[in-house]
Structure formats: C-alpha cells, structure tokens
A = this chain, B = another copy of it.
Amino acid sequence: MVELTQLMENEVFMAFASYTTIVLSKMMFMSTATAFYRLTRKVFANPEDCAGFGKGENAKKYLRTDDRVERVRRAHLNDLENIVPFLGIGLLYSLSGPDLSTAILHFRLFVGARIYHTIAYLIPLPQPNRALAFFLGYGVTLSMAYRLLRSRLYL
C-alpha cells in the first residue's frame, strides 16, 4: 500500500480540506433547518410525512408551502449552486501549487461569504447584504478559475 500522506502534508491542500469540510457542514445544516421548520410549522411536501398528524383529509391540510420553509430551501439551493463550483475549482486550484497565503485568503473569503450569505438570507437582512455576500463568494471562485486556466490550460 502506498503512502498518501504526502497530499495531506501539503499545507495548501490541508487548508482546502479544512475550509471545504466547514462549508459543506454548513450546507448540511440547511437540511436540518428545513426539517426543523417543516416539523414546527407542520408544513410538508409528502402525504406520508404528515400521516402522524391526523388521518385522511385532516392530514392533507399540512401538504402546503410556507414562506419560511421556502426561504430556507432557496438558501440551500443557492449554497449548492455556489459550493459545487468551489469544490471542483478549489480542489484543482489547490493541486496547482498556489502560494499558501493567497490560497488561504481565497478559502477564508469564500467560507466567510457563504456563512454571511446564509445569515443574511435566514434573518433576513436588508439588501444588498445578501447580494454582496453572493458576489464575494462568486468572485473568489472566478479568481481561482482564472488562475487555473491562465497557468494550466490544456485543451
């Protein structure tokens, strides 16, 4: 068996691993938030989910949508749409030998922007709080993509 520890001894890669794990855990928290609001507000998408709250027609009244639940779901989808590119581009960027402090700055800004985006979405804070958080994370990912394509383009 070959030693893979070399990847995890690379500081950029370790930093990427840490920040990615944090931002993905944050994204997973959105599932819990959705479940929490669905249960406390009794708002469900599937008939089998509200079977415990009554029988027949009585249960069907819980098959509805709710502003709060939809808001959490939009925040979750926005996370997916932005964290997936970060995951792919960030991984390749980390392997392309960037400067350690530049790389960590990218990761910190992205994770901070996404956490602030979630806070701004869920409270909600007035615009442009959420928009700025979105564009900061977006810009960080584009900056890594630009560096990758400029230095390593191979088509």
Produce 1/0 per residue, A49-88, CB < 8 A to B.
1011000000000000000001100101100111111011
Say whether chain A's binding surface is mostly helix, strand, loop, or mixed: helix
**What is the interface of chain A, defined by CB distance below 8 A to chain B?**
1-2, 4-11, 13-15, 17-22, 24-25, 27-28, 30-31, 45-46, 48-49, 51-52, 70-71, 74, 76-77, 80-85, 87-89, 91-92, 95-97, 108, 121, 124-127, 130, 134, 138, 141-142, 145, 148-149, 152-155
B21 touches A124 (CB 8 A): no
Nearest-Cβ distance from residue A112 to partner chain B, whole angstroms:
12
Q: Do residues A81 and B84 form an inter-chain contact, with CB atoms below 8 A?
A: no
Task: Kindly report how many copies of this chain are found in the complex they form together.
Answer: 3
Contact at A1–B10, with CB atoms within 8 Å? yes
Residue among A48, A49, A121, A124 with the most chain B CB within 10 A? A48
Closest Cβ neighbor of A144 among chain B residues: B21
A85 → chain B closest CB, angstroms:
4
The residue that A149 contacts in the complex, of B21, B49, B127, with Cβ under 8 A, is B21
